[in-house]
Amino acid sequence: MEATSNEFLRGTLKTIVLKLLAEQGRMYGYEITQSVKERTNGEITLTFGALYPVLHKLEQEGFLLTESEEVDGRLRKYYTLTPSGSATAIQKVSEFERFVEAMQILLQPQQGLSIG
Amino acid sequence: MKKLTPEQLSRLHNHLLGNSTNDALITELLDHLACEAEEYLWKGYNFDLALEKITQEANTKAVKYLRETYQHEVAMTAEQLENASLDDIIFEFRNKAYGAYDLRQSYPFALRSALILGVGLFMMLMAFLSGMAQGSWSFLSTAGMMWMLGVCGVAYSLGTWFFRKAPHRYAVPA
């Protein structure tokens, strides 16, 4: 599961992060991994090695804002969406939904095609 | 919710440092691992066991993978590369706050200041010697002019050096 799900995950990681931030508003890295794990019942687990590069990339592209806060003696970095980030989140999610629909059509067994 | 003590935090921090984590990521990773550790503690593990589990997960290989993905993902865009100097390219993902990058950036300025200072001092010395040899001094003579020019040069180079570079740049911010 690990290796294969990673392969599918790589292209959708940005969409997942943007979507979660659009829903929850303000999150930090560990919170994102936990929330993905809970909502998928442990089916998808984000490793920190995959998550943080994406977060920093999105920040660099101007989709995310960060603020650091001290929590329990360590700095915690919170991420929020910028206006262009929100727009991208909506666009990416709808693109991905279309993709999933198309995939489902592809995965369904073809019936009656040989007749025609 | 169980909290980590400062010394437990610093053990995690040392682990990350030992695996040569990216400067840009280390505070976030520390928080991430600390959250994980707290979850283990909450589930009833003791700290040593939690640390062992975490260090297993965040081993050198994982951190190296993180560093590589990071550099691949957050690399300069083509547009940025166009405007980047060689220094910017070499020092991407490296420390720019002080040290080699800083020295390279301020090199042209240092060179110019040193040149003006050197020429100024030399002119002052020549004027002084010529004044001594003649036994009389007038600011309107060639030697007097050279002296004044030298003083100006020295004052200019020291002044700009002090305002641009000098002590306050290296002072530890409060």
Give every CB contact of residue B82 below 8 A, 6+ residues apart in sequence: none
Contact with chain B for residue A54, Cβ under 8 A: yes
What is the arithmetic mean of pLDDT over A59-88? Answer: 89
Contact with chain B for residue A77, Cβ under 8 A: yes
Contact between B31 and A75 using a beta-carbon 8 Å cutoff? yes
Q: What is the pLDDT of residue B65?
A: 78
Q: Which of residues 81-110 of A touch B (CB under 8 A)?
A: none
- Calculate how close chain A gets to B20, using CA atoms only, in Å: 14
My answer on whether B117 and B161 are in the same domain is: yes
Contact between B27 and A75 using a beta-carbon 8 Å cutoff? yes
Token representation of residue B1? 């919710």
Lowest mean pLDDT, pick from A67-71, A95-99, B55-59: B55-59
My answer on whether B164 and B111 are in the same domain is: yes
Chain A environment of B29 (Cβ under 8 Å): 48, 52
| From B27, B36, B69, residue closest to A53, measured CB to CB | B69
Lowest mean pLDDT, pick from A64-68, A102-106, B129-133, B168-172: B168-172
| Residue B55 maps to a domain | yes
Token representation of residue B88? 């910017």
Contact between A49 and B32 using a beta-carbon 8 Å cutoff? no
Delimit the domains of chain A by residue range: 2-107
Contact A12, A95 (CB under 8 A): no
What is the arithmetic mean of pLDDT over A75-102? Answer: 92
Q: What is the C-alpha separation between B146 and B140, in angstroms, rounded?
A: 10
Contact between A30 and B62 using a beta-carbon 8 Å cutoff? no
For residue B106, the SS3 value is coil
Give every CB contact of residue A18 below 8 A, 6+ residues apart in sequence: A58, A63, A81, A85, A88, A89, A92, A93
Give the containing element (helix H, strand E) for B162: helix B142-164
Chain B environment of A79 (Cβ under 8 Å): none
Kindly provide the ipTM of the predicted complex, given to two decimals: 0.77
Q: What is the pLDDT of residue A15?
A: 92
Q: How many CA atoms lie within 13 A of B6 on its CB side?
A: 1
Q: What is the pLDDT of residue B70?
A: 78
Contact between A53 and B66 using a beta-carbon 8 Å cutoff? yes
Give every CB contact of residue A52 below 8 A, 6+ residues apart in sequence: A29, B25, B28, B29, B32, B66, B70
For residue B106, the tally of other CB atoms under 10 A from its CB is 14
| Residue B101 maps to a domain | no
| Residue B99 maps to a domain | no
Q: What is the C-alpha separation between B12 and B54, in angstroms, rounded?
A: 9
Domain carrying residue B147: 106-170
What percentage of chain A reaches a pLDDT higher than 90? 44
My answer on whether B66 and B113 are in the same domain is: no
- Residue A12 clears pLDDT 60, i.e. is over it: yes
| Residue B137 maps to a domain | yes
Q: What is the pLDDT of residue A6?
A: 72
CA B127, chain centre distance (Å): 41
- Calculate how close chain A gets to B67, using CA atoms only, in Å: 8
My answer on whether B64 and B117 are in the same domain is: no
For residue B44, the 8-state DSSP code is T
Q: What is the C-alpha separation between B158 and B124, in angstroms, rounded?
A: 15
Mean pLDDT over each residue of chain A, to the nearest integer:
86
Give φ, ψ of B45 to 5 degrees.
-70, 155
Which of B34, B56, B74 is where one domain is finished?
Answer: B74
Q: What angle do CA B29, B14, B57 make, to 5 degrees?
A: 50
- Residue B119 clears pLDDT 90, i.e. is over it: yes
pTM: 0.65
Contact B154, B117 (CB under 8 A): yes
What percentage of chain A reaches a pLDDT higher than 70? 91
Q: Assign A96 a pLDDT band (cuts: 50, 70, 90).
A: very high
Q: What is the pLDDT of residue A116?
A: 52
For residue B169, the tally of other CB atoms under 10 A from its CB is 10
Contact with chain B for residue A71, Cβ under 8 A: yes
What percentage of chain B reaches a pLDDT higher than 90? 19
CATH code of A2-107, in short, is 1.10.10.10
What angle, 0 to 180 degrees and rounded to 10, lies between the N-to-C axes of helices B26-43 and B47-57?
A: 130
| From A28, A47, A49, residue closest to B31, measured CB to CB | A28
My answer on whether B24 and B68 are in the same domain is: yes
What is the arithmetic mean of pLDDT over B149-172? Answer: 80
Q: What is the C-alpha separation between B128 and B144, in angstroms, rounded?
A: 9
Q: Assign B122 a pLDDT band (cuts: 50, 70, 90).
A: very high
- Calculate how close chain B gets to A32, using CA atoms only, in Å: 10
Token representation of residue A107? 């995965």
Q: What is the pLDDT of residue B1?
A: 57
Q: Which ranges in chain A belong to alpha helices (H)?
A: 2-24, 29-39, 48-60, 83-107
Residue with more model confidence, A37 or B78: A37
Q: Which is nearest to A56 in space by CA: B67, B144, B137, B84?
A: B67
| From A56, A57, A74, residue closest to B34, measured CB to CB | A74
Q: What is the C-alpha separation between B12 and B37, in angstroms, rounded?
A: 9
Taking CA–CA distances from B64, the nearest residue in chain A reads A49
My answer on whether B66 and B116 are in the same domain is: no
| Residue B88 maps to a domain | no
What total of structural domains would you count in chain B? 2
Which of B30, B59, B74 is where one domain is finished?
Answer: B74
Give every CB contact of residue B172 below 8 A, 6+ residues apart in sequence: none
Q: What is the pLDDT of residue A1?
A: 42
Residue with more model confidence, A50 or B169: A50
